[in-house]
Structure 1
Amino acid sequence: MDDDQTITNLEQLIEQLDSTTRDRERVDMHLILAAVGSRSFGSLILIAGLITLAPLIGDIPGMPTLMGLLVLLLSCQLLLRRRRLWLPRWLLERSISQARFAKAMKFMRKPAHHIDKLLKPRLTYLTQGPGLYTIALICSAVALMMPPMEFIPFSANFAGAALTLFGLALIARDGLLALLGFGLTGLAVGFIGYQTLL
């Protein structure tokens, strides 16, 4: 699976998702794949992060676990160098109402313009070749942490933010965001460990 460069910032991603889903009653993974393509690892990781962060979607019980499974499947297939993404039918058919999805897109559109101004290609070696596979390994680790995060208040936000940073890093070739993602993943591990010991 390659990392497509048809989408290079957050506003483009939101616009692509909005235009593909606005006339539907339900939004499922089939539609999301149609919007971004089945070869764009960065865009799909970014979507998983945004869904986990979005208050209207990420708060649905089981959603962080579902996004964790999606990220794990994506990461493993990237590490195996699959050129096209495969997802099981039951995952492709999981859906939410278009109204809820549209509200989440509207919520994310507000900061998108400001975030995009900060994106630029830098430290690009961290987002390609070995750097890309390192991100995939870290994303796998984040994905494995997401099911227990459902039982620890606010911890899924760490995972969503880390995945969002990694997704943005890949679509914009911004290695600085990858470094921030590594740091945030470390904080998430520390936070979960601290909460577990309490």
Structure 2
Amino acid sequence: MVDESSDVSRHPAPRNLTMLLERVQHAGRHEADVSLEAILDAAGRRSFAPFLLIAGLITLAPLVGDIPGVPTLMASLVVLVAGQLLLGRQHLWLPRCLLYRRVSRPRFVRVVQWLKRPARWVDRLLKPRLMWLARPPAHLPVALVCLLIGLAMPPMELVPFTANGAGLALTLFGLALLAEDGLLVLIAYALTGGTLALVVAGLL
């Protein structure tokens, strides 16, 4: 079970991408390899947004997201979390076999440094607007759409570039919930629809 007491409770929840990246860069700092559990602990587990952001960023990131099987692994994370959110669970359960998946620290640090380049530019575009689309209970339709994305991600490995679209959609949903940016929610909905349409066309 995900233990909320493991959150970095002494610090406020991340409100933008730069803050999130600064936190996760130090995940499992004393370990040679970085586990998914350490990344999630550093990001914060008190809301749905960090899970979406981590899954989306890992799927998008070079050197990591292109590894065969990584989109499917992130899909498992999204399906488990979104499904439990829709069921109204207050404490999110994740299997140890998922949390213990690791990536080498040098690769992880390179990815985070690469993501920091556009992060400040992205953060300048974020602001609270159409907040009713990004606040409860609007997180429930977001969770439903993310569940559909997660279920579609394994076949996306067979259709070029669609996994990147899924990763971008998850990232946008996560940023939207963090910043309470409803416009970004609408963009993520549209991107999800286009990506799923490409997957269906590519598999037919």
TM-score bracket for the superposition, by shorter chain length: over 0.9
Distance, in Å, in 1 between the alignment partners of 2:41 and 2:172 is 23
1:107-146 superposed matches below 5 A = 107-146=114-153
Q: Conserved in 2, the CA contact under 8 Å of 1:39 and 1:84?
A: no
Q: Conserved in 2, the CA contact under 8 Å of 1:39 and 1:83?
A: no
CA root-mean-square deviation: 1.7
Q: Does 2:159 match 1:160?
A: no
Paired residue secondary structure (1:104): helix
Q: Does 2:37 match 1:27?
A: no
Counterpart residue type for residue 61 of structure 2: A
More helix as a share of residues: 1
1:137 Cα deviation from its structure 2 partner: 0.1
Q: Report the TM-score, using the length of structure 2 for normalisation.
A: 0.91
Larger RCO (CA under 8 A, 6+ residues apart): 1
> Can you list the C-alpha shifts for 1:125-163, whole angstroms capped at 9, x where unaligned?
111223110000000000000000011111101100100
1:39-50 superposed matches below 5 A = 39-50=46-57
Q: Report the TM-score, using the length of structure 1 for normalisation.
A: 0.94
Kindly tell me the number of residue pairs found equivalent between the two proteins: 196
Distance, in Å, in 2 between the alignment partners of 1:40 and 1:102 is 24
Distance, in Å, in 1 between the alignment partners of 2:47 and 2:64 is 22
Q: Does 2:201 match 1:194?
A: yes
Distance, in Å, in 2 between the alignment partners of 1:112 and 1:33 is 19
Counterpart residue type for residue 158 of structure 2: F
Structure 2 counterpart of 1:77: 84
Structure 2 counterpart of 1:87: 94
> Can you list the C-alpha shifts for 1:100-144, whole angstroms capped at 9, x where unaligned?
111110110000000000001111111122311000000000000
Counterpart residue type for residue 196 of structure 1: L
Q: Conserved in 1, the CA contact under 8 Å of 2:65 and 2:71?
A: yes
1:30-69 superposed matches below 5 A = 30-69=37-76
Distance, in Å, in 2 between the alignment partners of 1:23 and 1:118 is 35
Q: Conserved in 2, the CA contact under 8 Å of 1:121 and 1:174?
A: yes
Task: Extract unaligned runs of 5+ from structure 2.
Answer: none
Q: Conserved in 1, the CA contact under 8 Å of 2:56 and 2:166?
A: yes
Paired residue secondary structure (1:122): coil
Q: Percent identity?
A: 49
Q: Conserved in 2, the CA contact under 8 Å of 1:38 and 1:84?
A: no
Structure 1 counterpart of 2:180: 173
> Can you list the C-alpha shifts for 1:34-54, whole angstroms capped at 9, x where unaligned?
202322210110110000000
Q: Conserved in 1, the CA contact under 8 Å of 2:58 and 2:64?
A: yes
